Amino acid sequence: MAAAVVEKVINTTMGDAKQRQMEGYRLEENSKTPLTTYFGAKVENTDIALRAGSRGPTVLEDFHNREKISHFDHERIPERVVHARGAGAFGEFKLHTALTGITTAKILTDTSKITPAYVRFSTVNGSRGSADSVRDPRGFASRLYTEEGNWDIVGNNIPVFFIQDAIKFPDLVHAVKPEPHNEIPQAQTAHDNAWDFMSLHPQSTHMQQWVLSDRAIPRSFRHMQGFGVHTFRLLDADGKSTFVKFHWTPHLGTHSLVWDEALKLAGQDPDFHRRDLYDAIEAGSYPKWELGVQLVKEEDEHNFDFDLLDSTKIIPEDLVPVKNIGTLTLNRNPDDYFTEVEEVAFCTSHIVPGMDFSSDPLLAGRNFSYFDTQISRIGVNFPDIPVNKPVCPFATNLSDGHMQTQSKKNRTRYHPNRHDALPVTAPQHGGFRPYAEVVNGIKERMHGPKFNEFINQAQLFYNSMSETEQQHIISAAQFELSKCFETQVQQAAVERFNMINHEFAKAVAESLTSVTVPAPAKYHNQKSAFLSQVNGKSQTFTAEGRKVGVYVMEGFEYSQIAAISAAMQAVPMMVKYVGPGTGPVKSSSGETVTAEFTFENSRSTYFDAVLFVGSPASDQSYLKSAKNGRLIHAAREAFMHQKTVGATGNMVGWLATMCLPGDVQVSQDVQDQTGVVTAVNVGSGAQFAKTFIDGVAKHRVWERDVSHIAA
Ligand code: HEM
């Protein structure tokens, strides 16, 4: 059966306030809506331009032709200068743990409210049409439409950044984008300029580790953490400040693709992440995240060996735990990509009363840059675009500008005025008042002294990885540097790696013939218990929301899959049938399942796990049909990508002899051979289902040796 699409009803609650507002802008056009010009005249013919004679010249007076072409000519707006490629969804946020006494922000203190929300996920480097699965940080820009105004946490899925000061941002982006002479390579940092920049900026060493790690190739947007990165402030009623870092933690766990899979997906399904989010929401499998805070008292600001104002550093969770305070659920796809995703405009400066910024110099630049770029991207009145409008009342003295659509009756656009129009609000009644910070210093181009230490947390990250994750970092570094053609660049990168870990540097250098590794540096050997995706303390492992490709052919034995499929759907997981063609596939006993994918139009990379269903033992033709290169490749490839692979009935023998000889033995009963779950006789299916689902929940079988598999 194809996944049912869940109809989202719009209620009169605060949680749906944004959708009620959006409804006013959504057009229901159908066969009863006549086509008109932009000015309302009904159109009689939109296929042939007005001509002087059927073979004569086209005439200028055809206003419909001119309007149609001219509007088309101006359809494109500039894409975002970074984070151009993205996908968005609406949802809601519910606070469950109030930060009473720490902030006056209602969104963080009132647990009775449901607040409308919106998130846009993105890649950083690639253009709008680039692929989703590239190695890159992911944007995680979230907006809560609170009663006190829009609050944006414009974060990434990586908690630190390449640079410490926004003045470096144009340099960084010019370096990591495709090289300027030939605009190659797209959407990736595997080139000389990116690595040259990083080697000349030791401050990027920590972020570089995260980008080489599996974090930069997430399994999906649903499996990503989000981080506000900067330190912000929360303010109580007396204006007292507490430092805060914001975290989004996915209920489904933080999981990644493997590199070979990511490379293939970039071609097989460039929309892999966008599609995954869209499909999950349409199927009612709504992704959820916990909003967490790390709180540091004002008086503890200097108790760390790093500066809280330095965005290249995390506050290790081992030092300051993350306290989860609320849940974000994404439950509605946009109706129109352009107006609801392309035109959304986030800014770090969108905060609400009860919050403020820290003096992080990167944050200061961002507070300026977003608004500034949006003026050229979507015009000065972009807050009036529906997706950007607050749901609370708003009124400004801002006036005019391109595409102003509001006719304000108030005749005074200044303050104060004789009518007392648009009065200001005192902080005790909800007016925004910035933190009264004592500032004292010499005006100079300088950072605090702790900004000059770059290596400790890079070492901490590498040390905290499991062996598998370290191997992935090594392979990623080998890949990236092998795409750099200047030895000087490779040498500088390896020297930096040596400051993190000598064995790491040596392993990378082995793949680069002209590079030498310096003597070991000083290493602190400390680890954090929270950074690994394999064994990190805050990690979640669940089969929920995972996609399983179930391969069937005409004449499959329904009893081999019926109970297993029902058990998976109950988790709930997404069961996707793959057949020789799309549409119904009939079992030997007459039941049908609907194949959404075919052997030819899909790849194992589309799924978290694959399962091959057999036929009644007497049916030899079934096995003949299974001698299909695509099918065999799917099994071998899923095995190579360390996924759970299953087979039932006579497909167990097929798997053991045709696909994975030497790696899998035939067994009558349920067996788990390093994540290959087989049973010639599935019986009731209950034990098979449990073993298979438990395998999927583990995400990958890292202990499986796949070095001999080519797929
Ligand atoms: C902690 C570091 C940073 C993070 C986490 C971050 C995150 C993001 C995200 C998530 C977006 C996409 C917003 C969307 O979905 O529409 C974005 C866009 C953008 N970022 Fe950043 N960014 C960082 C640093 C910077 C800095 C330092 C600057 C400039 C000084 C900057 C300038 C921009 C610009 C110009 C856009 C495009 C905005 C638009 O056209 O709407 N970012 N950033």
67 and 108 part of one domain: no
Cβ of 169 less than 6 Å from ligand 1? yes
Residue 502 lies in a domain: no
90 and 68 part of one domain: no
Instruction: Please give the pLDDT value at position 616.
Output: 95
Least confident of 60-64, 164-168, 379-383, 407-411: 407-411
Instruction: Please give the pLDDT value at position 2.
Output: 44
Three-state SS at 131: coil
33 and 176 part of one domain: no
Give tens-digit pLDDT for 298-350. Answer: 999 999 999 999 999 999 999 999 999 999 999 999 999 999 999 999 999 99
Give tens-digit pLDDT for 467-520. Answer: 999 999 999 999 999 999 999 999 999 999 999 999 999 999 999 999 999 999
* Ligand 1 atom 33 nearest Cα: 370
Instruction: Please give the pLDDT value at position 9.
Output: 80
pLDDT greater than 50 at residue 560:
yes
Residues 154 and 229: their CA atoms lie apart, in Å, by 9
Give tens-digit pLDDT for 285-296. Answer: 999 999 999 999
228 and 342 part of one domain: yes
Residues 307 and 331: their CA atoms lie apart, in Å, by 38
Q: Examine the fold and report which residue of 370, 388, 406 is the final residue of a domain before the chain moves on.
A: 388
**Cβ contact 384:406 at 8 Å:** yes
Q: Are strands 114-123 and 547-551 parallel, antiparallel or unpaired?
A: unpaired
Q: What is the mean pLDDT of the chain?
A: 96
Mutate to test the pocket of ligand 1, among 82, 274, 385, 387 (most ligand atoms within 8 A of CB): 82
Give tens-digit pLDDT for 611-622. Answer: 999 999 989 899
Residue 394 lies in a domain: no
**Cβ contact 565:577 at 8 Å:** no
Instruction: Please give the pLDDT value at position 108.
Output: 98
Residue 474 lies in a domain: no
Q: Give percent of the chain with pLDDT exceeding 90.
A: 96
Q: How far away, in angstroms, is 275 Cα from ligand 1 center?
A: 23
Where does 230-360 have alpha helices with state H? 259-268, 272-282, 337
Give the helix/strand (H/E) hosting 492. Answer: helix 487-500
- Which residues sit opposite 58 in a β-bridge? 51
Instruction: Please give the pLDDT value at position 485.
Output: 94
50 and 98 part of one domain: no
Residues with catalytic function: 83, 156
Structure tokens at 361: 């110099």
169 and 269 part of one domain: yes
**Cβ contact 599:579 at 8 Å:** yes
Give tens-digit pLDDT for 567-597. Answer: 999 999 999 999 999 999 999 999 999 999 9
Q: How far away, in angstroms, is 384 Cα from ligand 1 center?
A: 21
User: How many Cα atoms are found within 13 Å in the side-chain-facing hemisphere of 663?
Assistant: 21
Cβ of 139 less than 6 Å from ligand 1? yes
- Which residues sit opposite 594 in a β-bridge? 584
Give tens-digit pLDDT for 660-691. Answer: 999 999 999 999 999 999 999 999 999 999 99
Nearest alpha-carbon partner for 261 in 250, 272, 274: 272
Q: Confidence class of residue 8 from pLDDT cuts 50, 70 and 90? A: confident
Q: How far away, in angstroms, is 175 Cα from ligand 1 center?
A: 16
Cβ of 146 less than 6 Å from ligand 1? no
In this structure, what CATH number is given to the domain that contains residue 607?
A: 3.40.50.880
Residue 420 lies in a domain: no
State the CB neighbour count (10 A cutoff) for residue 433: 15
Residues 385 and 478: their CA atoms lie apart, in Å, by 45
Give tens-digit pLDDT for 33-72. Answer: 999 999 999 999 999 999 999 999 999 999 999 999 999 9
Instruction: Please give the pLDDT value at position 4.
Output: 60
198 and 274 part of one domain: yes
pLDDT greater than 90 at residue 436:
yes
Cβ of 693 less than 6 Å from ligand 1? no
In this structure, what CATH number is given to the domain that contains residue 127?
A: 2.40.180.10
Residue 296 lies in a domain: yes
161 and 65 part of one domain: no
Least confident of 11-20, 370-379, 477-486, 535-544: 11-20
- Cis peptide upstream of residue 270 (ω within 30 degrees of 0): no
Q: Confidence class of residue 1 from pLDDT cuts 50, 70 and 90? A: very low
Backbone angles phi, psi at 212, to 5 degrees: -75, -15
Contacts of 337 (CB under 8 A, 6+ apart): none
Give tens-digit pLDDT for 94-150. Answer: 999 999 999 999 999 999 999 999 999 999 999 999 999 999 999 999 999 999 999
Nearest alpha-carbon partner for 144 in 412, 444, 352: 352
272 and 298 part of one domain: yes
**Cβ contact 344:239 at 8 Å:** no
Contacts of 209 (CB under 8 A, 6+ apart): 458, 461, 462, 473, 500
In this structure, what CATH number is given to the domain that contains residue 59?
A: 4.10.91.20
pLDDT greater than 70 at residue 5:
no
Binding-site sequence positions for heme:
370
**Cβ contact 317:538 at 8 Å:** yes
Give the total number of structural domains in the chain: 3
Tell me the residue range of the domain where 232 lies.
86-388
224 and 369 part of one domain: yes
The residue-averaged pLDDT of 179-196 equals 95
Backbone angles phi, psi at 227, to 5 degrees: -135, 135
Burial of 385 (0-12, 13-18, 19+ CB in 10 A): buried
Full strand arrangement of the beta sheet holding 671-673: 583-586, 592-598, 574-579, 547-551, 609-612, 644-648, 676-679, 671-673
